[in-house]
Structure 1
Amino acid sequence: MNVWSEPQSDSLFADVDGLRVHYKRAGHGPTVVLLHGSASSLHHFQGVAGLLSASYDVIRPDLPGWGLTGPRADRDYRVPTYAATVARFLDVLGVRRCAVVGNSLGGNIAWNLALDRAERVSALVLVNALGYPEKSVPAGLKLARNPLLRPVLRRAMPRRVIERNLRSAVGPHSDIVDEAMVERSYQLMGRPGNRSAFIDFVNTDQPDRSAEIARIAVPTLVLRSASINAQHFARDIPDAQELIHPDGGHLLPEEDPQWVARAITHFLDAHSNSTQSRHGDRT
């Protein structure tokens, strides 16, 4: 059995904002950064990263509060703070500009980065991203917001709760939630401080920046599962493209990594060719 809660042979670490950010990096070419969602880790994009690394320099960090990076000492889990930390993480790695892909919370962080640091983002891919006011809250988040349960969940997160939340996040035809996936999530949630970070994140008042989404000025691809509603990125971001997966759930990069990787590759290749066409060949 894998020990998910320990560094692996390809684990790397960067000191950022007092955090020891865990990340993995593979491949050569233009840089693509992959940002996972809440209560997840860099493993969420493993299949997509493996496919993209044939043509791209692929970087995937464990975001603060999750995975092997662990909790922030200041307990600041606001999305703009995440975006600022990602920008400084890229500074540490010497990455001046890159494409940014984000799923769920990672998508929210990605478009906030595109708003605040547009010069750092060459292209934006939002996969079932968040950022509009919530109309419904998943059952797992409701539990974590219950003032009576919060102290209990900081001490222990039952494995069955984690499995139930994973199953509720995938499409009806998905079979990806197996013993290994549940064990991985359970081990990483059990790392010191991660349960409390999850509770802190869920109970953080996030600023509503949805009115600013129309100001995003970088080339954008929106990937959405047909079952995911209340996403208006393709409508609100000028010239955004949208592709809709007919069967996927919220965890689309794990449910169909080939579809996601293929869509990202086609979009980035087309954007690169368009840029070269506008500027001409330079030697």
Structure 2
Amino acid sequence: MNLIKYQYQNIGENKIAYKRQGEGQTILFIHGIVTYSFIWRNIAPSFAAKNDVITLDLLGCGFSDKPFNQDLSLKKQAQIIHAFCSKLKLQNIILVCHDIGGGIGQILAVNYPEYFSKLVLINSIGYNYWPVQPIISLRIPIIRQLIISVLDMGMLSLIIKRGLYYKNNLNSELLTLFSLPLKNVDGRKSFLQFIKSLNNKNLVEIDTQISELNIPTLIIRGAADIYLSEAICNRLHTQIKNSKLVTIKTGGHFIQEDEPELISSYIKSFI
């Protein structure tokens, strides 16, 4: 996927960056906080032989525009992705989401079910069980200023390593990929605006509609995810009647780095 060049789609006043390859039914991959579309690089390409594969960068992340004075909440991101799907005339979409992307995916599935045929939630946020550390700490003014003034690579490295089951997977290449959008002040300001915009009310308010979802849903949890409680996946599985829950013992929060082939196989079996 790294060899595929970014394309850009204007949504309102902003540009959304995305990569696209393959033909067939569309699979749209949505990343979470701290990451961007690179997190799917070991998974998405394996679907391109039979599918239209799209990985996008959320507004404020990766190579999409990075405003630091706009609403970057889950609800707003869902509206942007809906507009993106409409502009590209996408339909019958398989939605694959991770972390905060999972929250966005839930909002999309509830509000625009006609666009989506299947939903995959990987180490997803949910309900009012988040935000969690270290995201909460980044809302503290003095820490925000430290992040804006200088990227603390030591802290970023610690966040990533704690999120991996296989700690040795954190090498210089992976750290560079994570840190790339945070290299300049605008990138760091936008990242902090994203954090500031997060509000679990966006998911609490759709609690009832989650129980009414009819979209076939695959829920994948890395058992070693220290950032998000297993209670989220369990509750989602209970509420979404047409769902399947898979637990991967050797998966941390950034499970795409731990077990990309295993995740791909589960998704392929599901779709």
Cα distance between partner residues in 1 of 2:104 and 2:26: 17
Residue 233 in 1 paired to residue 228 in 2? Answer: no
Residues 192, 26 of structure 1: CA spacing in aligned structure 2 closer, same or farther, 3 A cutoff?
Answer: farther
Cα distance between partner residues in 2 of 1:250 and 1:208: 22
Alignment match of 2:220 (pick from 214, 223, 228): 223
Alignment map for 1:144-223 (pairs within 5 Å): 144-171=138-165, 173-191=166-184, 193-206=186-199, 207-210=201-204, 211-212=207-208, 213-223=210-220
Residue 256 in 1 paired to residue 259 in 2? Answer: yes
Residues 67, 241 of structure 1: CA spacing in aligned structure 2 closer, same or farther, 3 A cutoff?
Answer: same
Residues 216, 134 of structure 1: CA spacing in aligned structure 2 closer, same or farther, 3 A cutoff?
Answer: same
Name 2:246's counterpart in structure 1: 243
Residue 97 of structure 2 aligns to a residue in which SS?
A: strand
Residues 156, 75 of structure 1: CA spacing in aligned structure 2 closer, same or farther, 3 A cutoff?
Answer: farther
Alignment match of 2:120 (pick from 105, 120, 125): 125
* Equivalent pair of 2:72/2:198 in contact (CA under 8 Å): no
The offset of 1:72, in angstroms, is: 3.3
Cα distance between partner residues in 1 of 2:38 and 2:18: 10
Residue 193 of structure 1 aligns to a residue in which SS?
A: helix
Larger-Rg structure = 1
The offset of 1:209, in angstroms, is: 2.6
The offset of 1:260, in angstroms, is: 1.0
Worse overlay, 200-209 or 86-95: 200-209
* Equivalent pair of 1:66/1:189 in contact (CA under 8 Å): no
Cα distance between partner residues in 1 of 2:131 and 2:57: 26
* Equivalent pair of 1:39/1:189 in contact (CA under 8 Å): no
User: Which letter does structure 2 place at the counterpart of 1:156?
Assistant: V
After TM superposition, the score normalised by the length of structure 1 is 0.86
Cα distance between partner residues in 2 of 1:102 and 1:82: 13
Residue 155 of structure 2 aligns to a residue in which SS?
A: helix
* Equivalent pair of 1:131/1:208 in contact (CA under 8 Å): no
* Equivalent pair of 1:70/1:193 in contact (CA under 8 Å): no
User: Which letter does structure 1 place at the counterpart of 2:97?
Assistant: G
User: Which letter does structure 1 place at the counterpart of 2:194?
Assistant: F
Residues 155, 75 of structure 1: CA spacing in aligned structure 2 closer, same or farther, 3 A cutoff?
Answer: farther
Name 1:3's counterpart in structure 2: none
Residues 54, 8 of structure 1: CA spacing in aligned structure 2 closer, same or farther, 3 A cutoff?
Answer: closer
Q: Which runs of 5+ in 2 are unaligned?
A: none
Residues 57, 184 of structure 1: CA spacing in aligned structure 2 closer, same or farther, 3 A cutoff?
Answer: same
* Equivalent pair of 1:22/1:62 in contact (CA under 8 Å): yes
Name 2:54's counterpart in structure 1: 59
Residues 70, 238 of structure 1: CA spacing in aligned structure 2 closer, same or farther, 3 A cutoff?
Answer: same
Percent sequence identity is 22
Cα distance between partner residues in 2 of 1:145 and 1:74: 15
After TM superposition, the score normalised by the length of structure 2 is 0.90
User: Which letter does structure 2 place at the counterpart of 1:170?
Assistant: L
The offset of 1:13, in angstroms, is: 1.0
